[in-house]
Amino acid sequence: MIRLATRADIAQITQVLMEFMRESTYSEYVEEANPQYLNRLVFNVIYVGYIWLWLVKDESGQEKIAGLLAAVREPNVWQPKSIQLRELAWYVRPEYRGLPTGGRLFVEYCRKGDELMQAGQIRSYAIMKMANTPAVDLERRGFRLTEHVFLKE
């Protein structure tokens, strides 16, 4: 089941974001990560953006996050009057990879992006591909590649 996150989900989302950081290019920042900061970040994204959760039931019947996609509306840095929807994190827990989890989260994100564009609330929406993300042809889905980002630390 996919649904939008609520305040009740903040602690569990923060845990998932820590997992995301460990597996991503942000892995070296996990030890420095401040859970209170991440909690505030999640709270803010819930209220100024969207966090879609793919939920499954664990052995005890409790809902558990299998994956999430978080995005915010923000001004385009080059044209501040132009609002865009930008994905912040798209993550599926390892045990749920290979299932349609990530794809279904992506479809929800695209539905909302298309809805906001048709309503004139945003001009565009973007999705990132991390270095460790499997190859997916996003151009076939209507996106166009605009840049590659290289990081030197």
- String of b and e for 107-121 (b: at least 16 CB within 10 Å)? ebbbebbeebeeeee
Would you state the pLDDT for residue 7?
95
**Does residue 16 register a pLDDT over 90?**
yes
State phi, psi for 11 to the nearest 5 degrees: -60, -45
φ, ψ for residue 128, nearest 5 deg: -100, 155
Q: What is the pLDDT of residue 56?
A: 93
Q: Is residue 151 pLDDT above 70, yes or no?
A: no
Asked if 74 and 82 count as a contact pair (C-beta separation under 8 A), the reply is: no
Domain boundaries, the chain: 2-141
What are the distances in angstroms from CA 109 to CA 27, 34, 37, 71, 87? Answer: 25, 27, 25, 8, 9
Check residues 150 and 13 and name the one with the higher pLDDT: 13
Asked if pLDDT for residue 53 goes beyond 90, the answer is yes
CA 12 to chain centre: 15
The 10s digit of each residue's pLDDT in 79-138 is 999 999 999 999 999 999 888 888 899 999 999 999 999 999 999 998 887 656 666 777
pLDDT at site 30:
64
- Answer whether residue 153 shows pLDDT above 70: no
* Residue % of the chain over a pLDDT of 70: 87
Hey, which residues does 97 pair with through a beta bridge? 99
The position carrying tokens 């695209």 is: 110
- What is the model's pLDDT at position 140? 78
User: 2-141 belongs to which homologous superfamily?
Assistant: Gcn5-related N-acetyltransferase (GNAT) (3.40.630.30)
108: left (phi over 0), alpha (psi -120 to 50) or beta: alpha
